[in-house]
Amino acid sequence: MASQLEHTPELWVPLFLFFLLIYLLTLCGNLLILLAVARECRLHKPMYWFLCHLSFLDMTVSTVVVPKVVAGFLPGGGAISFHGCMAQLFFFHFLGCTECFLYMVMPCDRFLAICKPLRYSVIMNRRACLCLAAGTWLGGSLNSTMQTVLTFRLSYGRDTQLVCGDTALNELVTSMDIGFLAVTFFLLILRSYIYIGLAILRICSAEGKCRAFSTCMAHITVVVTYHVPLVFIYLRPGSQHPLDGVVAVFCTTVTPLLNPLIYTLRNKEMKAALLRLWGRKVSGPEP
């Protein structure tokens, strides 16, 4: 990104500070969620277990991308080695795909909690949570390996930006793989929340409806901010529109920062746990 702004050096310092601030806030926000869940026994539930995985993924995805972007605004900091590029690509796909799979698992947890409350603790036991979490990481690893192998099977010139080969297969596979996964998962998640919404409407208590709706809306908001940019980018292969770069930056820098804000602002248990983490007295968790 910094190389694209080489003709506007007056923006380098503000952008350097901007991305550095976003990165530090992302680390702090997600780390606070991890610490709050670890310290609070009342948050040792499947929903917060998966939220911890999401926070860890947000921190690591941001760490893979943003520090290099920040370094790009410093003198001599824009270059990356071939092997460094390979490692960054692998981990970016690995963590991003794992997060995509995790977004599919989280509504399943909410579906069981709201639609099958009497069987929830039996179905979503410790072993089931571990298997689901492991499955997301395994799926991300396999997907990333395929994407990395396809990318670096090509021949490169002395400048790694120049590919000496036909990239049509790579573009097709990337669009079909990531684009198809993003669209399919997004539709499946919406389908899950339709059933969840119908179940919420059958709840007699107005307070119960409000609580369930608030929890689900937090996840829906996060899913939309994650999947819509992915669909925009990967279903338009070969596009050179300037907006593509803005959307890509949003995915890798802003979204990891928004997730902790969305979940903490819409969840009374998380807000209470964070306040207790800072030593403040709170009346208790969400009734």
Residue written as tokens 């995509």? 100
Query: Which is higher by pLDDT, 211 or 50?
Result: 50
Say if residue 60's pLDDT is above 90: yes
Cβ atoms of 70 and 98 within 8 Å: the answer is no
Return the pLDDT at 168: 66
Asked whether residue 130 carries a pLDDT value surpassing 90, the answer given is yes
In sequence order, what are the beta bridge partners of 163? 156
Confidence of residue 163 (pLDDT cuts 50, 70, 90): low
Whole-number Cα distances in Å, 33 to 107, 161, 229: 19, 38, 25
Domain ranges, ordered by start, for the chain: 2-277
pLDDT tens digits for range 112-127: 888 888 888 899 999 9
| Tokens 């609070």, residue located | 40
What integer pLDDT is reported at residue 2 of this predicted model?
46
Sign of torsion over alpha carbons 91, 92, 93, 95: positive
**Which pLDDT does position 209 carry in this prediction?**
75
14-28, 219-233, 247-261: least confidently modelled range: 219-233
pLDDT at 4: 47
End-to-end CA distance of the chain: 47
Q: Give the pLDDT score at 23.
A: 92
pLDDT computed for residue 188 by the predictor:
82
Query: For the domain with range 2-277, which CATH number is right: 1.10.260.40, 1.20.1070.10, 2.40.110.10, 1.10.606.20?
Result: 1.20.1070.10
- Greater model confidence, 88 or 244: 88
pTM of the model as a whole: 0.81
Residue 284 has pLDDT above 60, yes or no: no
More confident residue, 35 or 275: 35
**Which one has a higher pLDDT value, 218 or 90?**
90
